[in-house]
Amino acid sequence: MSRQPRPIRTRLSLLLAAAALALSPYANAQQDQHPHGHGHEMPSVAPRSTPADTRQVVAFPPELKRHELANMRDHLATLSAIQDHLARYDFDGAGELAEKRLGMSSFGLHGAHEVAPFMPKGMREMGTAMHRAASQFGIATQEAAIDRDLGRALTALNKITRSCVACHAAYRLE
């Protein structure tokens, strides 16, 4: 019996889900046995103990905090939409969306000039790195549209998400 290859979209979804799990705080948690005793290991739903939150607290005025959290949720929604474009090999759509919503040209859209004064230097630098990576992703998708190289686009997308992960690991809003 020959096995049919999975469609590209399914393989991309599995790849992205595996990457998200690998980046999750539970990736290194101890493994549990399958509830039915089959000996299959499953990732824990919650860590065994909650480590102290050592992230640097960043104090924002309440209205700016709400605004910045909304921006970050928009960034996540944009990353999801970008992944959808990539799953359909719509490199141009993915790149255009990244530049418009996350790239260097999106600063006005997100009111970066209002929140930047409240951010520590390292946080500002990480944010700028994320926006720069998004603009570079736009360039990578233009190249990928020519040679249909999904790997090139995913590698560039990973630079965006790594910036997000690094910032969220180092800072928290209060």
CB 76 within 8 A of CB 157: no
Q: What is the pLDDT of residue 25?
A: 44
Q: Which of 8-12, 69-73, 118-122, 147-151 has the lowest mean pLDDT?
A: 8-12
Pinpoint the alpha helices (H) of 24-120.
62-87, 91-101, 107-110, 112-115
Please name every residue paired with 33 in a beta bridge, in sequence order, or none if there are none.
Answer: 41
Q: What is the pLDDT of residue 84?
A: 98
Q: What is the pLDDT of residue 7?
A: 54
> pTM higher than 0.75 for the full model?
no
Q: What is the pLDDT of residue 107?
A: 83
Q: What is the pLDDT of residue 23?
A: 46
Q: What is the pLDDT of residue 110?
A: 75
Tens digits of per-residue pLDDT, 69-115? 999 999 999 999 999 999 999 999 999 999 999 999 998 887 788 88
What is the residue-averaged pLDDT of the chain? 81
Please tell me the distance from the alpha carbon of residue 62 to that of residue 109, in angstroms, as a whole number: 19
Share of the chain above pLDDT 90, in %: 64
Selected residue with higher pLDDT from 70 and 27: 70
Q: Indicate the pLDDT class of residue 128, thresholds 50, 70 and 90.
A: very high
Q: What is the pLDDT of residue 43?
A: 54
Structural domains for the chain = 55-173 (1.20.120)
Q: What is the DSSP letter of 5?
A: P
Q: Indicate the pLDDT class of residue 8, thresholds 50, 70 and 90.
A: low
CB atoms within 10 A of CB 141: 27
Instruction: Quote helix, strand, coil % in the chain, to nearest 5.
Output: 65, 5, 25
Tens digits of per-residue pLDDT, 43-61? 556 667 778 999 999 999 9
Q: What is the pLDDT of residue 28?
A: 39
